[in-house]
Structure 1
Amino acid sequence: MRSIADTYAKQALLSVRKVQQMKFAKEYGRLCHQFPIMVLTNGLRLTVAFFVSKQKDEESPYTEYLKHIGLATGLDENWYKGDILNGSMTEYRDLTRRMLAASVWFKRYAEAILKVDPADMGD
C-alpha cells in the first residue's frame, strides 16, 4: 500500500517534468516555493484567489500550479473553480493541510529538476 507522501511525490514529479519544457518553467518553480509561504501567511482561500487573479490565460504558470496541486491532493484539475473552498471549517483545514504536505514535494522537485534556487526568489 502506498503512503500519502508517496502519492504526493509521484504526482509532483510528473507535474514538474511536464512543465520542464514549457516557456514558464522558472516562474512555475518560483510558485512552487511561494505557494506554501503564501498559504501559511494568508490562508488557502486568499492564496488561491491571488493565483486565479494572476491567470492571464489557460496556459499560465498560476493555472498549471493550481491544476497540479489539486491533482496531487486527489482533486480534479478544476477544483479551484468550484465551491470546494467554501465547505466546513474542518474540510477547509484538512484541504489546507493536504495542500501544504503536497507542496513540499513540488518545492523539492522545482529545486532538483527546474534548478530554481530559493535564494533567488526576489529576481
Structure 2
Amino acid sequence: MSTAWTVILLEEVERWYFSLDADEIASVTGAIDLLELEGPTLGRPAVDRVKGSKFHSMKELRPAGTSIRILFIFDPERQAILLLGGDKAGNWKAWYDRNIPIAEQRYEDWLDMGGE
C-alpha cells in the first residue's frame, strides 16, 4: 500500500473549484485524486510542465475531457500546492501569459508564510 501525497488547494483555488458545474467538479476531482496517488511521478496526459514560469518545477494539472488547467507546484515539503485554476478554452497562450505570474506570486506568498 502506498502513501497518498498531500495536495493543498489555496483559498482562491477552493473558491474557484466550488464555482464549477457538477461535470467540471467531477473531472477536477478525478485529476486531484490521481495527483494524490501518483505525486511527482504523474505525467502526461494528466500533468505537463509549464513553460514560461520562473519556477522550473511549476506544472499544470489537466483534468480529462476539459480545457481546464490547474497550475501547481511541489513545495519544499513535497506537498502539491494548487495555485490557480481556470478554463483556457479559446484563449490558449494568453491564458498562460496572464495566469503564470499570478500563480508565481501565490507560490512566493505561500513560501513567505512558511507554507501555511
TM-score range normalised by the length of the shorter chain: 0.3 to 0.5
TM-score, with length taken from structure 2: 0.34
Decide which structure has greater helix share. 1
Greater RCO (Cα-Cα under 8 Å, separation 6 or more): 1
TM-score, with length taken from structure 1: 0.33
Decide which structure has greater strand share. 2
